[in-house]
Amino acid sequence: MTRAISLHDVSKTYTRGVRVVDRLSLDIAPGEFLVLLGPSGCGKSTVLRMIAGLEEVTEGQLLLDGEYANHLIPAERDVAMVFQNFALYPNMTSRGNIGFPLRVENPGADPGPRVDATARMLGIEDLLDRYPGQLSGGERQRVAMGRAIARHPSVFLMDEPLSNLDAKLRNHLRAEIARLTRELGVTTVYVTHDQAEAMSLGDRVAVLRGGVLQQVGSPRSVYALPRNVFVAAFIGTPRINLLRGLVRAPLDGAMTISLGKQFLRLPEPLSLDHQLLRVQQGREVIVGLRSEAIRIAKRADARPGEAVLTGLVEHVEFQGHEVLVHFNTGSQAAVVPDLEAPRPVARPSRRRRREGSGVLDRLRERAGSLRAGPVVALDDPPDTAPRPAEPRLPGDLVVRTTPDIDLRHGMQVPLLVDIAHLFVFDQHGERISPAPARLPDLDE
């Protein structure tokens, strides 16, 4: 048996008014694998704990199979949780740890057959008589997963279960988790800050920032059409190139986006998305370019829809199967100050919407909820305000290319930019090109 989970305007506020989850609404279908993704401190583990019943819901409704569940204690929710730190009983063998919740649920029954079946599924039959202190990190996590699986719950909740393991073992167990959840067909909510885990595991990915849901969708759609700069920068390796630009849209000439010393010429005839950029004439915007949207080639080899830039090689990263080249194009990078520590400036908790509130009030409230504060910093801080130092990679543009290319520091290289894969974000960090699929509903 598996079940649906629905969160309707769920918030969590601790003492002193600290709001760590802000009006989160999310529907999880039965049997779905949903990943909650975001940097440390964004509220994703708190959401998981509210679903489990380990944290109280301050506002909003939690529904399990359509039934109100805010008041249910953890034992009544039929969920099993896998923790980041394994949480095994040190005085019990693996067999005892896996069978413990079964003995609690049904003291008179023999847990042996179910424990053995779970051990075979996970390939840990030879570990059943060992204590946690005799197991490696990966083996302990398998035992912790076995304890959850043996209960045959309707929901799996996994709180960064692989973060304490080395990279090779993490990749192996990631494949194991994908296989097991697919075979069992149980609704799974998985918390991680690792976007590679999120993209490879989830049916859908929900990105959080500062307790606010930024975007939810399939891994492919979240990567290809990020809703804002934060989502674009958080998902993708290497990180997306974000440059400050200025839209130039003369009535009698080609539309361009100035990047400082160079510019991107938009191909004619203009696409509908690029036509809509005319309203940004003279405004500063953020240009987003994935590393695969740029290639190193001669200007004469430019295809229709490609714009030409020139870059100065500043650093070359050899990755074996590919090379990442850092170029200086004379552009200025857009800063995403909350990317690593995403909690926005504290703001007072919003009151519930009053009956009969105006459309403008609702739009302002919705805009604040979507952004959770400014996502990017385009304005230079005043001289009196010290600018926080942040580690910066050399250059302003990273390009992914093949390992057979021979580039050296200081070389000047022509770059061809595929304008079809160009993202443009406004000053608040919201995507304006490609244009959003739909406009916000005024009644939402």
Q: What is the DSSP code string of 150-198?
A: HT--SEEEEESTTTTS-HHHHHHHHHHHHHHHHHHT-EEEEEES-HHHH
Flag whether 272 is in a domain: yes
Residue predicted with more confidence, 168 or 34: 34
% of residues, the chain, pLDDT over 70: 85
Residue-wise pLDDT tens digits, 13-31: 998 888 999 999 999 999 9
Is the domain of 121 the same as that of 207? yes
Flag whether 389 is in a domain: no
CATH code of 115's domain: 3.40.50.300
Average confidence (pLDDT) over 205-214 = 94
| Candidate from 79-83, 89-93, 264-268, 433-437 with smallest mean pLDDT | 433-437
d(CA 25, CA 44): 13
Flag whether 23 is in a domain: yes
Is the domain of 274 the same as that of 399? yes
The residue range of the domain holding 428 is 230-344+368-378+394-433
CATH code of 324's domain: 2.40.50.140
Flag whether 383 is in a domain: no
Q: Which two tokens stand for residue 440?
A: 């916000």
Q: Which two tokens stand for residue 250?
A: 């003369």
pLDDT band at 79; cut points 50, 70, 90:
very high
Is the domain of 277 the same as that of 173? no
Residue-wise pLDDT tens digits, 412-435: 999 999 999 999 999 889 999 998
Kindly tell me the burial class for residue 316, based on how many C-beta atoms sit within 10 Å of its own C-beta (0-12, 13-18, 19 or more).
Answer: middle
Number of folded domains that form the chain: 2
Q: Which residues pair with 327 in a beta bridge?
A: 313, 397
Residue 373's pLDDT is 56
Kindly tell me the burial class for residue 282, based on how many C-beta atoms sit within 10 Å of its own C-beta (0-12, 13-18, 19 or more).
Answer: exposed
Q: Are 82 and 157 in contact (CB under 8 A)?
A: yes
Is the domain of 206 the same as that of 299? no
Is the domain of 409 the same as that of 306? yes
Domain final position from 197, 228, 259: 228
Is the domain of 131 the same as that of 33? yes
Is the domain of 195 the same as that of 237? no
Sheet strand arrangement including 284-289: 263-265, 256-258, 241-248, 284-289, 422-425, 431-433
Is the domain of 194 the same as that of 286? no
Residue 393's pLDDT is 61
Flag whether 152 is in a domain: yes
Q: What is the DSSP code string of 255-324?
A: -EEE-SSSEEEPPSSPPHHHHHGGGGTT-EEEEEE-GGGEEE--GGGPPTTEEEEEEEEEEEEE-SS-EE
Residue 86's pLDDT is 81
Is the domain of 317 the same as that of 180? no
Residue 371's pLDDT is 44
pLDDT band at 339; cut points 50, 70, 90:
low
Is the domain of 309 the same as that of 186? no
Q: Are 156 and 187 in contact (CB under 8 A)?
A: yes
Domain final position from 187, 209, 228: 228
Nearest Cα to 200, choosing from 226, 149, 232, 237? 237
Is the domain of 158 the same as that of 56? yes
Domain final position from 211, 228, 245: 228
Flag whether 439 is in a domain: no
SS3 content of the chain, % helix, strand, coil (to 5): 30, 30, 45
Average confidence (pLDDT) over 318-327 = 92
Is the domain of 28 the same as that of 83? yes
Flag whether 388 is in a domain: no
pLDDT averaged over the chain? 85
**What string of H, E and C letters represents the secondary structure of 197-261?**
HHHHHCCEEEEEECCEEEEEECHHHHHHCCCEHHHHHHCCCCCCEEEEEEEECCCCCCCEEECCC
Residue 367 predicted with pLDDT over 60: no
Residue 346's pLDDT is 42
Residue 382's pLDDT is 43
Flag whether 444 is in a domain: no
